[in-house]
């Protein structure tokens, strides 16, 4: 294991300033390689350490939000596919911004689907990017810091964590419905 860590350090030092750029690009091309966000963020933690890895993941995820917005706006066929996925996964459910933030933390939830929800809730591109960037902080930090530990937890611990996140998601949904009815 020590030899592996030394090899990684040598690789990072050998590529110099290009390593962070390549890592950010990996976030942008991640969907084409079918890599989950959590895998790339864990890799950032291993390669760059917690602080730099979380910062680079945050930048990469934020740029991915920008690209996602452009894909939906410029390619109607892409929007149609994501909208179909939305109807299939969430039916006609209304999701609040805070629920999208919670869903961003959950591994394996479709990135572009959540971006579509944020686009539909936002009044402008600026507001979309604000909510989107805000929603990237927790996944970047959590996945980079605890991602490896989460994947190595026993199945029951992982199950408890998912139940807690689903409970928070449900609570926020009920609160959102109550707020809408009260308005």
Q: Where are the domains of the chain?
A: 2-182
Q: What is the DSSP string of 41-73?
A: HHHHHHHH-HHHHHHHHHHHHHHHHHHHHHHHH
The string of pLDDT tens digits covering residues 13-57 is 677 778 899 999 999 998 888 788 888 888 888 788 888 889 999
- Give the number of other Cβ atoms within 10 Å of residue 67's Cβ: 16
Q: Which strand (E) or helix (H) includes residue 99? A: helix 97-105
Measured CA distances, 77 to 16, 71, 84 (Å)? 39, 9, 11
The string of pLDDT tens digits covering residues 66-121 is 998 998 889 989 888 888 888 887 777 777 888 888 888 877 677 878 888 888 88
pTM beyond 0.75, yes or no: no
The string of pLDDT tens digits covering residues 131-165 is 999 989 988 998 888 655 655 667 788 778 778 87
């Amino acid at each position: 294991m020590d030899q592996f860590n030394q090899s990684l350090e040598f690789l990072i030092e050998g590529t110099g300033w290009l390593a962070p750029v390549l890592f950010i690009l990996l976030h942008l091309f991640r969907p084409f390689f079918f890599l989950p966000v959590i895998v790339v963020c864990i890799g950032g933690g291993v390669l760059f350490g917690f602080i730099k890895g979380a910062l680079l993941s945050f930048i990469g995820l934020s740029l991915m939000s920008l690209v996602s917005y452009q894909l939906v706006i410029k390619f109607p066929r892409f929007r149609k596919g994501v909208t179909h996925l939305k109807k299939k996964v969430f039916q006609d459910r209304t999701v609040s911004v805070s629920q999208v933030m919670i869903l961003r933390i959950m591994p394996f939830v479709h990135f572009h689907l959540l971006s579509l929800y944020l686009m539909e809730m936002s009044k402008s591109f600026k507001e979309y990017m604000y909510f989107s960037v805000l929603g990237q902080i927790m996944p970047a930090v959590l996945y980079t810091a605890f991602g490896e530990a989460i994947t190595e937890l026993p199945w029951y611990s992982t199950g408890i964590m998912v139940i807690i996140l689903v409970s928070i998601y449900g609570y926020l949904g009920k609160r959102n419905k109550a707020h809408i009815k009260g308005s």
